[in-house]
């Protein structure tokens, strides 16, 4: 018998199986890091059609159960895969997860199935969790289900729930009747509302609430960042903790990364980055003359106003006109932004490339070959792109908010400290002037290299963050 802490992690996204953003990165990395701390952490997620066949071929079919959602009696096949030492359990249902998307129009029911089903799967596989750790609105209802329903089941009577907010902007607000039709939640507390906000439910009923950086944990208590949950968060603030995400350094390691053209490390990064840049310039038909003097600015981001993409749109043409720079934007999302960026790229084919899709391989190549990564977010719970960029010697230029403030220190020419560039006020002038300043430093190679070396020293591995989660779990079960 072991006395390991049993942690059940439930999420709509888990790298490398299904990811659209940082949530997938976090749930992909945290279980591994927890298990290194002698925790017994398993993960439950949907068996989406889009999960690569390579993984599906290695999965083991364990059996099936039926999950009741209101009057619906739904089949759930259970598959298991041990990947990098972590046990993953996949819930199969063709009706819910049979199209090619991670999210679609039926998300309330699809993730109600995941949330209620995860309790049933845990029982089926006989995994008695000390902690259930749920993420964003998709699995938030598990906090309410534990409080209202499953706590009466002896199997979960000792279980505590931790709820992590990755982005307060996506709350999962649905008509009350629909939610209560699907899930056995205590209807009495919703007498005076027409809707149920699943994120609010998670905040209210979890034993601890975390968010993904200390600064964001403070910001969301304010009117400016609270997304109308600030009152609830202030009431519950004693259980709110900010823990900065780490990075999966096995995935984001330029010396071993199989997705980039040339591997490099801290000692040969100048040559390595140049070779990657050359390959990318050839791929995009950019002029390779004067490559050392032509900074490559990269943007790897969802195209959403949260990410400051409207600021990028405001300044990009001016930037292309005034400076000998190349800019590559990889992202997708808001159609207006996509069209606007495309129009500009068509007018500046020698300087500006826009790739409007989710492309993991190109993302890695851009991190490896870029000089400057722009991340002028309006708000940023944590942000991973800036941390990834630092591993690859690409300097982040960020707006100082949320996790960007907790991870990027603006370069100080006098002390020679800092790992990037930052500005405070969300406006195009401050953003543009900071880029201008950064481009000035780019041509002072000794300073630029100093910042890259400063960035290499930063430790964003999951080890430190996982230890903080473990302490929180232990506190919750006390
Ligand atoms: P968010 O979760 O808000 O989208 P993060 O910075 O926390 O932002 O995480 C984004 C993750 O998704 C990073 O790993 C980034 O490299 C990746 N990413 C974003 N857009 C794309 C894209 N179009 N193609 C490939 N990877 C992308």
Residue 261 inside a domain? The answer is no
One domain, residues 284 and 401: yes
One domain, residues 159 and 286: no
3-class DSSP assignment, residue 10:
strand
Range of the domain at 63: 6-246+463-477
3-class DSSP assignment, residue 388:
helix
CA of 476 to the centre of ligand 1 (A): 31
Atom of ligand 1 lying closest to residue 355 CA: 23
One domain, residues 31 and 161: yes
Q: Residue 126's pLDDT is what?
A: 98
Is the CB–ligand 1 distance for residue 363 below 6 Å?
yes
Query: pLDDT band at residue 461, thresholds of 50, 70 and 90?
Result: confident
Mean pLDDT of the chain: 96
**pLDDT (mean) for 383-404:** 97
User: CA angle, corner 171, sides to 119 and 100, nearest 5?
Assistant: 70
Cα–Cα distance between 299 and 321 in angstroms, integer?
18
Report whether pLDDT(433) > 70.
Answer: yes
One domain, residues 396 and 349: yes
Is the CB–ligand 1 distance for residue 332 below 6 Å?
yes
Report whether pLDDT(475) > 80.
Answer: yes
Atom of ligand 1 lying closest to residue 306 CA: 3
Is the CB–ligand 1 distance for residue 330 below 6 Å?
yes
Atom of ligand 1 lying closest to residue 307 CA: 3
One domain, residues 31 and 148: yes
Residues whose CB falls within 8 Å of the CB of residue 129, separated by 6 or more in sequence, listed in order: 6, 7, 8, 122, 156, 159
Nearest to 264 by CA among 359, 394, 353, 383: 394
Report whether pLDDT(225) > 50.
Answer: yes
Sheet holding 240-242, edge to edge: 60-69, 72-83, 86-92, 40-46, 6-10, 131-135, 160-165, 208-211, 240-242
One domain, residues 82 and 212: yes
Is the CB–ligand 1 distance for residue 184 below 6 Å?
no
Atom of ligand 1 lying closest to residue 382 CA: 7
**pLDDT (mean) for 2-13:** 93
Q: Which residue's alpha carbon is at the smallest distance from atom 2 of ligand 1?
A: 22
Q: Residue 2's pLDDT is what?
A: 59
Out of 244, 253, 385, give the residue to mutate to test ligand 1, the one with the largest number of ligand atoms within 8 Å of its CB.
Answer: 385
- Helix segments in 394-461, DSSP class H: 402-407, 428-442, 445-457
Neighbours of 265 (CB within 10 A): 13
Q: What is the pTM of this model?
A: 0.92
CA of 34 to the centre of ligand 1 (A): 23
For 83-140, the pLDDT digits (tens) are: 999 999 999 999 999 998 999 999 999 999 999 999 999 999 999 999 999 999 999 9
- Helix segments in 163-244, DSSP class H: 176-182, 198-205, 214-219, 230-235
Is the CB–ligand 1 distance for residue 394 below 6 Å?
no
Report whether pLDDT(175) > 90.
Answer: yes
One domain, residues 467 and 414: no
Query: pLDDT band at residue 3, thresholds of 50, 70 and 90?
Result: confident
Task: Please report where in the chains the tokens 């993991």 appear, as a residue.
Answer: 360
One domain, residues 305 and 232: no
DSSP of 264-304: --TTTHHHHHHHHHHHHHHHTT---TTGGGS-EEEEES-BS
One domain, residues 89 and 150: yes
Residue 260 inside a domain? The answer is no
One domain, residues 20 and 40: yes
CA of 360 to the centre of ligand 1 (A): 9
Q: Residue 259's pLDDT is what?
A: 97
Q: What percent of the chain has pLDDT above 90?
A: 95
One domain, residues 158 and 220: yes
Q: Residue 459's pLDDT is what?
A: 80
Residues whose CB falls within 8 Å of the CB of residue 77, separated by 6 or more in sequence, listed in order: 47, 61, 63, 64, 91, 92, 93
Residue 259 inside a domain? The answer is no
Q: What percent of the chain has pLDDT above 70?
A: 100
Q: Residue 1's pLDDT is what?
A: 44
State the greatest distance between any 2 C-alpha atoms of the chain, in Å, as a whole number: 70
Q: Residue 458's pLDDT is what?
A: 83
Residue 122 inside a domain? The answer is yes
**pLDDT (mean) for 71-94:** 97
CA of 19 to the centre of ligand 1 (A): 9
Cα–Cα distance between 434 and 430 in angstroms, integer?
6
Residue 119 inside a domain? The answer is yes
Q: Residue 124's pLDDT is what?
A: 98
CA of 302 to the centre of ligand 1 (A): 6
Q: How many domains does the chain have?
A: 2
Report whether pLDDT(333) > 70.
Answer: yes
**Are 304 and 341 spatial neighbours (Cβ–Cβ below 8 Å)?**
no
Q: Which residue's alpha carbon is at the smallest distance from atom 19 of ligand 1?
A: 301
Q: What are phi and psi of 359, to 5 degrees?
A: -140, 100
Residue 264 inside a domain? The answer is no
Residue 369 inside a domain? The answer is yes
One domain, residues 229 and 273: no
Query: pLDDT band at residue 251, thresholds of 50, 70 and 90?
Result: confident
Report whether pLDDT(438) > 80.
Answer: yes
Residue 258 inside a domain? The answer is no
Residue 302: give its domain's CATH number. Answer: 3.40.50.2000
């Amino acid at each position: 018998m072991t006395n390991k802490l049993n942690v059940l992690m439930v999420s709509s996204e888990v790298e490398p199986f299904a990811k659209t953003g940082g949530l997938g990165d976090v749930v992909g990395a945290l279980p591994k890091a927890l298990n290194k701390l002698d925790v017994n952490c398993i993960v439950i997620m949907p068996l989406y059609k889009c999960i690569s066949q390579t993984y599906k071929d290695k999965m083991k079919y364990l059996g099936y159960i039926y999950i009741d959602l209101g009057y619906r009696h739904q089949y759930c096949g259970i598959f298991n895969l041990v990947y990098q030492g972590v046990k993953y359990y996949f819930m199969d249902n063709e009706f819910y997860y049979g199209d090619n998307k991670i999210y679609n129009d039926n998300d309330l029911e699809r993730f109600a199935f995941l949330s209620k089903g995860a309790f049933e799967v845990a029982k089926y596989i006989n995994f008695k969790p000390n902690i259930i750790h749920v993420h964003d609105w998709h699995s938030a209802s598990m906090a309410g289900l534990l409080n209202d329903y499953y706590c009466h089941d002896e199997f979960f009577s000792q279980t505590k729930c931790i709820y992590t907010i990755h982005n307060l902007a996506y709350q999962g607000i649905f008509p009350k009747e629909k939610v209560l039709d699907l899930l056995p939640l205590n209807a009495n507390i919703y007498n005076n509302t027409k809707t149920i906000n699943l994120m609010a439910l998670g905040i209210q009923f979890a034993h601890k609430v975390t968010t993904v950086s200390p600064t964001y944990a403070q910001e969301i208590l304010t009117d400016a960042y609270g997304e109308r949950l600030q009152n609830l968060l202030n009431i519950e603030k004693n259980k709110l903790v900010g823990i900065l995400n780490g990075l999966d350094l096995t995935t984001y390691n330029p010396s071993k990364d199989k997705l980039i053209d040339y591997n490099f490390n801290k000692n040969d990064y100048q040559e390595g980055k140049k070779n990657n840049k050359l390959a990318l310039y050839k791929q995009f038909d950019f002029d390779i003359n004067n490559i050392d003097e032509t900074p490559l600015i990269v943007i790897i981001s969802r195209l959403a106003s949260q990410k400051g993409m409207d600021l990028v749109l405001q300044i990009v043409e001016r930037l292309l006109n005034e400076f000998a720079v190349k800019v590559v934007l990889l992202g997708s999302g808001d159609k207006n932004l996509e069209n606007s960026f495309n129009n500009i790229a068509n007018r500046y084919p020698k300087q500006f490339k826009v790739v409007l899709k989710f492309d993991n391989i190109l993302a890695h190549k851009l991190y490896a070959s870029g000089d400057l990564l722009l991340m002028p977010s309006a708000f940023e719970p944590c942000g991973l792109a800036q941390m990834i960029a630092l591993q690859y010697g690409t300097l982040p230029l960020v707006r100082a908010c949320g996790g960007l403030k907790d991870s990027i220190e603006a370069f100080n020419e006098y002390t020679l400290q800092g790992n990037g560039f930052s500005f405070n006020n969300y406006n195009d002038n401050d953003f543009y002037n900071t880029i201008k300043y950064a481009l000035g430093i780019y041509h002072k190679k000794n300073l630029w290299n100093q910042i890259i070396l400063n960035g290499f020293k930063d430790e964003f591995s999951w080890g430190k963050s996982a230890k903080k989660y473990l302490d929180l779990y232990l506190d919750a079960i006390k």
